[in-house]
Structure 1
């Protein structure tokens, strides 16, 4: 059954005149007549009775009318649900402690009530996250994806840069340093448990290690951030790397220190991946805010080759 014919039938039944229905639908009176005639032939009944004052539903038309209204309403609801802005923007922030989640939270605080669905595809690598965007599982994702690996149909824009910092306990040799050069970390144990092979962050830290001669230890089970904070507080040799602004908490007695890295400043580059041509208004607003108010890239920033979009 033709939904547009049903919509036209409802319009005529409610307006009482073919011309009034045509005006409401933005079509010609001739088109209205043609749609009604087609519907009546399909159902093999007369739906409208012509009178000197217009048209009214026949007995069969009266029976059909409530069902037609429900069908038209359901179709309109379905159309609204997938129009840009008709549903919440579903966005992957990878991890709720790090820069993308913080940036999206700032965006939401600036626009309370914005329709957002924030998820973390932490078990997916960058290629898998990009595929999820292509398939529509999510609308957007923050990932460090090399430019030559961005698939067709995906737009990627580097909108969020996370400078790295050294996180150490109070007994570490760098605990009181105002800042540290990456090269100064050579020979010191940098412990980042939980790095999984094949992920974009594994590739980033491999490039970082090679560029500055660092020893990054990913061995051992990862018992969570709290356990990592406990281990750093008790160690005078272990350190880890975190993004500036990443949200980690620890007991005050741990006295952990965040030490900036400079000359150069290693930066983890988060690209915003979205389907090419996606016009969701929340995505547009988020992209605009990150362009205008995102953290400024340090003058001495270091980013691995292929990620310096």
Structure 2
């Protein structure tokens, strides 16, 4: 059924004249007549009866009018629901404990008037998340995605770097260090349960292992963060890696230690993916907020070779695995 014909019928019914409805709709009286005739043919009923003073509703027209108004109201609501700024921004934060979720939450706290929906597509890899952005399932996603894997129609902006920290229990040999080098971790077991093959974070940790000769594994079932924290607290040999902006909690009695990594500092690069034509005002506000609150690049930063540099990145030619100058 032609929506414009429905809209024209309602306009004529309310105005009582074809010319008045034409003036309201900004079309000719002939166009109004053609639309009404087409609508009547479609529903096989006469809706309007012409009179010397204009037109009036037939009995069928009187029955049809309230339904036509409901259809037009539903269409208006549907259009409003997808108009930029009229629905919450859907942002994939990957995991609610890590840096992207915390950054989006801080943005919300400072912009409490905005509407957003932080979702997780944790079972999807970066390429699948980018496709979800392209298809409009989500508006944006934080991922570490090589430039050559970004599909046409999707833009990227590197807005959130997460320096890695070592997390160990009180009995670990490095527990009392104020900071450690990545090479200091050689020979220590680093357990990161839940690494999924084929994901960007699996590729990141593989590159980190190869660059610094580390032993990083995800052996055994993943029973969740609480079990990981328990294992670290009870072990003198086990360690894991977390982002400096990640939010994990554990009992005070665990006495776990977060130890920064430097010389160089491994950084997990969260790149924001979004559709080229996306005009959602909350997306603009989020990007501006992340730019304004983003710390400058670290002088000793390490990222895998496949990670695009930020515009303000310093070259670090000596760090293992650092990108070569462009």
TM-score (normalizing by structure 2): 0.86
* Change in CA separation of 1:63 and 1:134 when aligned onto 2, cut-off 3 Å: same
C-alpha distance in 1 between matches for 2:161 and 2:284 = 19
Deviation larger for 30-39 or 290-299: 30-39
Match of 1:49 in 2: 50
- Find the counterpart in structure 2 of residue 4 from structure 1: 4
User: d(CA) in 1 for partners of 2:232 and 2:175?
Assistant: 11
Query: What SS does the corresponding residue of 2:165 show, helix, strand or coil?
Result: strand
Which of 146-155 and 35-44 deviates more?
35-44
- Contact kept in structure 1, 2:48 and 2:55, CA below 8 Å: no
How far apart in 1 are the matches of 2:243 and 2:209?
Answer: 16
* Aligned counterparts of 1:16 and 1:45: Cα–Cα separation in 2: 15
CA contact (8 A) 2:85 2:282 kept: yes
CA distance 1:301–1:51, shift in 2 (3 Å):
farther
**2:223 is aligned with 1:215:** no
Distance across 1 between alignment mates of 2:26 and 2:293 = 43
Correspondence 1:71 to 2:35:
no
In structure 2, the CA distance between the partners of 1:22 and 1:140, relative to structure 1 (3 Å rule), is same
**Structure 1 unaligned regions, length at least 5:** none
User: In the alignment, what sits opposite 2:225?
Assistant: 225
The 5-angstrom pairing of residues 9-28 of structure 1 reads: 9-28=9-28
Per-residue Cα deviation, 1:1-58 (whole angstroms, up to 9, x for no partner): 3210110111222233444433433434443344234434544525143443x54333
1:210 CA displacement: 1.3
Offset of residue 145 of structure 1: 0.9
Using the TM superposition, give the Cα deviation of residue 113 of structure 1 relative to its aligned residue in structure 2, in angstroms.
4.9
SS state at 2:14 partner: helix
Other structure's SS at 1:79 match: helix
Structure 2 residues not aligned, in runs of 5+: 310-326
Deviates more, 1:167-176 or 1:18-27: 18-27
Go from structure 1 to structure 2 and tell me whether the alpha carbon gap of 1:16 and 1:255 turns closer, same or farther (over 3 Å shift): same
CA contact (8 A) 1:126 1:199 kept: yes
Distance in 2, Cα, partners of 1:70 & 1:141: 37
Matched, 1:236 2:230: no
Between the two structures, name the one with larger relative contact order (CA 8 Å, sep ≥ 6): 1
Task: Say whether 1:98 aligns with 2:98.
Answer: yes
What is the CA–CA distance in structure 1 between the aligned matches of 2:52 and 2:158, rounded to whole Å? 66
Equivalent pair of 2:163/2:244 in contact (CA under 8 Å): yes
Contact kept, 8 Å, 1:49 with 1:58, in 2: the verdict is no
Alignment of 1:1-309 (within 5 A): 1-42=1-42, 43-45=44-46, 47-52=48-53, 54-309=54-309
Cα deviation code 1:123-152 (max 9, x no counterpart): 121122222223333222111111111122
Give distance in 1, aligned partners of 2:102 and 2:49: 60
Matched residue count: 308
Q: Relative to structure 1, is the Cα distance of residues 299 and 19 closer, same or farther in structure 2, using a 3 angstrom cutoff?
A: farther
Distance 1:163 1:26, change over 3 A: farther
Alpha-carbon spacing, 1:22–1:216, altered in 2? closer, same or farther (3 Å):
same
Deviates further, 90-99 or 287-296: 287-296
CA offsets per residue over residues 44-93 of structure 1, 9 Å max, x none? 525143443x5433333222211211121122222222322333222211
Say which is worse superposed, 269-278 or 238-247, in terms of deviation.
269-278
Coordinate RMSD, CA, aligned: 2.1
